[in-house]
Structure formats: structure tokens, C-alpha cells
Amino acid sequence: MPGVASPAEFAYTLDIPTRWKDNDVYGHVNNVEYYSYFDTVINTFLIREGGLDIHRGPVIGLCVESHCRYDGPISFPERVVAGLAVDRLGNSSVRYAVSLFRVDDGARVDDGARGAADPDGGAPTPAAEGWFVHVFVDRETRRPTPVPEGIRAALLRLAR
Amino acid sequence: MPGVASPAEFAYTLDIPTRWKDNDVYGHVNNVEYYSYFDTVINTFLIREGGLDIHRGPVIGLCVESHCRYDGPISFPERVVAGLAVDRLGNSSVRYAVSLFRVDDGARVDDGARGAADPDGGAPTPAAEGWFVHVFVDRETRRPTPVPEGIRAALLRLAR
Amino acid sequence: MPGVASPAEFAYTLDIPTRWKDNDVYGHVNNVEYYSYFDTVINTFLIREGGLDIHRGPVIGLCVESHCRYDGPISFPERVVAGLAVDRLGNSSVRYAVSLFRVDDGARVDDGARGAADPDGGAPTPAAEGWFVHVFVDRETRRPTPVPEGIRAALLRLAR
Amino acid sequence: MPGVASPAEFAYTLDIPTRWKDNDVYGHVNNVEYYSYFDTVINTFLIREGGLDIHRGPVIGLCVESHCRYDGPISFPERVVAGLAVDRLGNSSVRYAVSLFRVDDGARVDDGARGAADPDGGAPTPAAEGWFVHVFVDRETRRPTPVPEGIRAALLRLAR
């Protein structure tokens, strides 16, 4: 299906269990929380794979644009697998693609690994697809700065 | 400035004070919370002006797509004024435009009223601009349904 | 009514409008969010009245204990008035009392002012009553430190 | 150490990975989020082990009191293990004990199982200990009702 991602396209995945308070009054995870899942997979990757020091590092990543298309409901207490890829890597910015898959739809939980393709060829379709742009800036001046080398090397591994 | 909205373009505005927990580790309101402000101004409008009954009404609005461009930081304990407009109203869906203005930049707090133009002609520029698409669905079947009349009448007043 | 506070007992009050996402799947503000309201009135007071600099100040307040008793439901899009008092002020710690009143129950919105008693003598009863203990610590070492003078002076004005 | 729980005392445990937005401006998980972890382990247990239907069941659990003592910091991207026990089971109410352990302190991740004692005898000390009271009520009338049998049977297994 064109334009729909399968977990195998994402070189980094993260298991994100939902929480009680993610559900809103209509009984499903609120649209706002999807962006929290985006933030979580992105920063987990940057910290663990790229060496980002969110507490004291001289360079930090600020979100300048984000987008999400909601394709199906997610509800607590389900588990979500977030798949992360890089669509564009510039001098000081990066545009990530993030898709959210439901474990109940067959997504595999295997943090950090490439999302496994279903052996039957039937990969789950995402519950949501989005993108997110980080600009890396100096922590003090908040001016754009080149992506640090350790982070750049990690991000290059997510290119698709 | 083309493409940048002033509060006067929004027929509905809502005062949204920030909360301690909106700030993230970098000291500013987290990108995720901006969408919470969008959700809040939209649903406050639908409830108060359009008669939406979120607890028992037969029709509810589900978010199918959202987007935000972040133009400047907001920090607790600031106050935000959210401006709401309607960019497209279809049979069962509506696309809202939302801009967030900082009271510290001169935005006026006057819930429900058209955002007042600055008498000096210098309207504040938004800290963020986004859009958000609701599809109205039957609460039980979750299938698309025409926008209820009371809500449609209210939304028409927000067209720009 | 013994043990139940009225807004007039609180020397500092803050208007806190609820948000869409505060409501949980049962249709009322989730118990967790009440603590977010506590955090918000406390830190707003410390910043505005006590001169706390949450970004760069040498001393910060960490929560070491908190408690809430829920007496009645609150629902978005209601407004809450949070009343703040000080029950115990030690060398490096403070125990706050916080009560939440519903504007729909008659609470007055008048940020920063002593909650006005109802002229008819019928003050609203709180929707929730809680307490919260801050220990002030050195930002770097996170070791307890005396309450800074500006903050101490402000807190003394909240004693009841 | 008297009064401090080890994971082995809890008949139900749940792995809760932290999220980016859990961290506050001081770099650690905000005190409010701890209650979100409480809510999550409690409701996951009630749904999976007790058959609670949060969407359509005739009986729901409402929080009437909660408390937390914070003993040490937790920071994203750490993982937390939440241990759940029952301290008092009445006709229509239950008082839970919840402790949060850091995986970085040696807590084991094994959802649903009794928290494993460290073979060396050195169980991790909790980062936080709290309690939480649910009253079960009729979904429509919100009046107290006896704890449903399936839930009661499950809760009895958590008594300590």
C-alpha cells in the first residue's frame, strides 16, 4: 500500500506501553499523546544511540514543526511500537518519520532493533504516521548549530 | 507579514494559562502541550458555542490530522491566548486554524471575543501556528456523520 | 464544617481553567491532574511572590510528599480556583495546604487575592483538599538548604 | 529497613518506561507523574486480572484519596517497576499500596509476576512509596456499590 509504512522500514523501534491517563473521555488515546510517543522514541534514540546529554550537553534539539495523521484508534492498556526513521538530515536540522503500530495488530516488541517483518508477509499497518523536525541549537544562545558528530553518525543509520 | 496571523483574524479566542508541568527539561513548554492547547480551545468552543455534549451526545469529533509550526518559545508561568478560526467546513469534517499568542507579547485576554487588534497597529506575532482536522462520527459506530446543525452554525461564524 | 476549608482561608488563589485532556475515560478530571493544579499554584506563587528563578536560581524546591482527598468531581470545561496556604514553615522545608474550588460552585476568580468570602455567608466547599511538602535544595548538589529569604518572607504571608 | 518495601512484597508488578515529557524543568520526573504510574499499574491490574471493563462495565473505580512519599529521583529515559499490593479491602472500597523501583537500581522487569528477590539478598529500595483508595461506584448513579466478584477475587490475591 503506497504511503503506508511497515515496521521493517524503521531501523529503530521502541516499545511504548500506554497509560491510564492517555485515554480521553471518548475512550481512546488522546491525539495529543501521540506526539508524546514521538518525542519519547526520538529522544530515547538520541540519548542511547547518539550520546545526547539532555541535562548538561552544549547542544540540544528543539522541535520546530510536527505533524500527525491518525489512521486508527489506540486504547489503554494496549502497547504501541514506535518506529523511527530519518527522512532528511541537514547541517543543523533533521526530519524524522515516526509511525505507531499496535502490538495487538501484530507489531513486535524488540526495543532498538529493526522492526521485524511478519514472516507471513502481512506486516501491521500503522495506527498513526507523523513527522517531526528538530533543529539543534546551542543550549545557552539557542542559536542553530551543526548536528554533533555522534548524533549525526547515529541519525545516518536511520536514513531510509 | 504574509502567512502570519494576528489575533484579530480569529473570531474566537481563549485564555490558557500555562502549568508548571508544561515546561520540559529545556525550560520551555514542551511541543506536545501546544496540541493540548489546540484541543482545549477547539472543544471549549464546540461545547459552549455549538452545544456539543461530550458525555452523552450522539455525535463526537475525532481528530484525524494535526500539525504545528513552532515559531518561538513559551514558558510557564506565562499566559497564552489561543485564536481559533475555521479554514474548511465539509459535510462531516472541519479544518481549524489555531494560533497561539503570548500575553507577554501583547495578546489580550478576553475569552470568546474576537482578538482585539492593538490600537497602535502592532499586533503580536504568534508563538505557534497549527491546524487540526475533526471528523464528526456517530459515538457508537464511529462512522462519519454530518456535522450537527448547532455545531455547523457555530463553525460558520469562525470562517475567515 | 470542621476540617473543610473555604476560599477565604487562603491568602493566595489562582484561577486554573481545566483542559480537554484533563478529563479521563470516566468523564471527569483525572485524579493525577489535581496534583498538577497543586504544583501550578505553588510554583506560580513562589515565582511571582517569592522571586524563585526556576531556570537559573541556586536554590530549587523539590516535592518530598504529597496527598489529596477528592471530595467531588471536576470536569472540563470548568474553571477551578486553587487556594494556597502554609501550614508549617521549617528551616529548609515548607508544608502547603491546597484546596480546589469549582467556579460553578461559586468560587471567585481573582488571581493572587485572598479568596473572597461569599457575602451571603455561603462559601463553596472544596472539590479537593491536599497538602504538599517542598524541601529547598541547592540546585547542583541537591542537598537541603535554608529557604531563601525572599521566599521565606512570601511564605510567611500565607501562614494560617 | 522497617517501612521500606522490596519488590518481593508485591504480588503484581508492571514495567513502566518513562517518557520524555515526564521530566520537568529540574531534570527529573515530575511529582505529578508518579501518580500516573500508580493509576496505570492499578488499572492494568483491574482490567487484566479482575475483568474491569472501563468502557462499558456497570461498575467503575473512583479515586477518593491518594498519597506519595518521594524517596529518590527518577529520570527519563529510565524504566520503573511499579509494585502493587492491597492493604485493605472493604465492601465497596480498596486501599492499594504502590511502590516504584528503578530498573537502574536492580529492579527486575517481569510484568504481572511477583517482584523477584535479588539472589544476593540486596533488593532495591523504592524511589517512591504511596497509597491510593478506590471506591467502586455504579457508572450511572456514581453511588458506592460492592466490589464486583471478579475484581474482589483478584484483589484478594494482592493482600499482604
CB contact under 8 A, D36 and C32: yes
How many C-beta atoms lie closer than 10 Å to residue B145's C-beta?
Answer: 17
Counting beta carbons within 10 angstroms of the beta carbon of residue B152, is it exposed (0 to 12), middle (13 to 18) or buried (19 or more)? middle
> What gap in Å lies between CA C52 and CA B87, rounded to an integer?
42
- A 70-89 residues with CB below 8 A of D? 76-77
Map chain C to HEC letters: CCCCCCHHHCCEEEEEECCHHHECCCCCECHHHHHHHHHHHHHHHHHHHHCCCCCCCCEEEEEEEEEEEECCCCCCCCEEEEEEEEEEECCCEEEEEEEEEEHHHCCCCCCCCCCCCCCCCCCCCCCEEEEEEEEEEECCCCCECCCCHHHHHHHHCCEC
The shortest C-alpha distance from C61 to chain D (Å) reads 9
Residue C123: the pLDDT is 72
Please state, in angstroms and rounded to a whole number, the distance separating the CA atoms of residues C122 and C107: 10
Cα(B76)–Cα(B19) distance, rounded to whole angstroms? 6
DSSP state, residue B29: B
Q: What is d(CA C51, CA C73) in angstroms, rounded to the nearest whole number? A: 34
Predicted local distance difference test score (pLDDT) of residue A111? 66
From the list A19, A39, A40, the residue facing D40 with the nearest CB is A19
Lowest mean pLDDT among B51-65, B102-116, C142-156, D46-60: B102-116
- CB contact under 8 Å between D20 and B24, yes or no, is yes
Q: What is the pLDDT of residues C20-56, one digit of tens each?
A: 999 999 999 999 999 999 999 999 999 999 999 999 9
Would you call B66 helix, strand, or coil by DSSP? strand
Cβ contacts of A70 on chain B, cutoff 8 Å:
62-66
Model ipTM value = 0.91
Chain D residues near residue C64 by CB distance under 8 angstroms: 69-70
Reported as a pLDDT band with limits 50, 70 and 90, residue D2 is: very low
For C141, residues 6+ apart whose C-beta sits below 8 A from its C-beta are none
CB contact under 8 A, A25 and C24: yes
Asked whether the CA dihedral D147, D152, D156, D160 is positive or negative, the reply is: negative
Residues from chain C that touch D32, judged by Cβ atoms under 8 A, are 32-33, 35-36, 39
To which residue does cell 508477509 refer?
Answer: A121
Helix C31-50 / helix D31-50 crossing angle, nearest 10 deg: 180
C-alpha grid cell for residue B16?
490558557
B64 touches chain A (CB under 8 A): yes
Q: Does D143 touch chain B (CB under 8 A)?
A: no
Q: Please state the φ and ψ torsions of residue C85, each to the nearest 5 degrees.
A: -140, 170
User: What amino acid occupies position D122?
Assistant: G
Q: How many CB atoms lie within 10 A of CB B6?
A: 20
Q: CB within 8 A of A56, min separation 6: which ones?
A: none
| Strand A12-17 to D128-138 pairing | unpaired
3-state SS, residue A158: coil
Of D28, D18, D4, residue with least CA distance to D103: D18
The answer to whether A61 and A134 are in contact (CB under 8 A) is yes
> What is the value of pTM for the model shown?
0.93
Half-sphere exposure of C111 (CA within 13 A, CB side): 14
What local confidence, expressed as pLDDT, does residue A128 receive? 98
**Residues B121-159 pLDDT 10s:** 457 899 999 999 999 999 999 999 999 999 999 999 999
Contact (CB<8Å) B39/A26: no
* All three cell numbers of B130: 497549527
CA distance C27 to C31: 12
Give D102-137 pLDDT, tens digit per residue: 998 888 766 666 654 444 545 789 999 999 999 999
d(CA B127, CA B69) in angstroms, rounded, equals 9
CB contact under 8 A, C32 and D35: yes
- Residue A155, C-alpha cell as written in the block: 541519525
Which residue does chain B place closest to C46, by CA atoms?
A: B77
Using CB atoms, list chains with 3+ pairs below 8 Å to chain D: A, B, C
Task: Provide the residue-wise pLDDT of chain A in tens; the chain has 160 residues.
Answer: 345 566 678 999 999 999 999 999 999 999 999 999 999 999 999 999 999 999 999 999 999 999 999 999 999 999 999 999 999 999 999 999 999 999 988 887 666 666 544 445 457 899 999 999 999 999 999 999 999 999 999 999 999 8
Could you tell me if D56 lies within 8 Å of chain A, comparing CB atoms?
no
Q: What is the pLDDT of residue C119?
A: 44
Give D32's contacts in chain B (Cβ within 8 Å).
Answer: 21
